[in-house]
Structure 1
């Protein structure tokens, strides 16, 4: 069911072969401070999937606010603990975006993927 003022987001990034086990381990216990930053930024229903044949991490989330870019910069990208988390996880990944140097920078680290179909069923 849709949430008023919600935005669905899907993003992809490559996971380095040598980092698969470590990435899975760290995500089994995401730092509470990182989760708190996501909550403050109105992010809900966040999942990351791994497609091993293409080495792709696929993240999906819902943003329930009304200023995604602004809130993301203020509450997530500016959070010191999230920046520390990204230093760990970015080293395990390869961005698909030319010129990307890391999460929270001007050129996005994760590539946003456009939605081409949605079926929500009956409420």
Structure 2
């Protein structure tokens, strides 16, 4: 299992919409995430900086393939069309990233 953290900005005027979307996340999208070997997916909001921190535990063996599996799903693509305009990718993200992945530097069990 691999713990993964990521960050992205959020538009202040879209925070309420983003919260409402995630309060009633679509079952098909959640199922696809689970099928892609992701567990304990959590998103935190930090105001007033307007940052989202995402965390999940990846239980698969081919992360790129599992991410492609999610991206190929039409229902997930529809979900992203609603969530995407709420988000502001970080300027420092790596090429090809929407959310900027982070390095784990500490964990205690």
**What TM-score does the superposition give when structure 1 sets the normalisation length?**
0.83
Q: For the residues of structure 1 that align with 2:97 and 2:81, how far apart are their CA atoms?
A: 15
Question: What is the aligned residue count?
Answer: 109
| Residue of structure 2 equivalent to 1:87 | 81
Alpha-carbon distance between aligned partners in 2 of 1:90 and 1:107, rounded to the nearest angstrom: 15
Unaligned runs of 5+ in 1: 1-5, 101-105
Secondary structure of the residue aligned to 1:91 is helix
Return the offset for 1:98: 6.2
How far did residue 53 of structure 1 move?
2.2
Decide which structure has greater strand share: 2
Runs of 4+ in 1 over 4 A off after TM superposition: 97-100
RMSD: 1.6
Aligned to 1:103: none
The unaligned stretches of length 5 or more in structure 2 are: none
Q: 1:69 to 1:23 in 2, by over 3 A?
A: same
Determine which structure has more spread, i.e. the larger CA radius of gyration.
Answer: 1
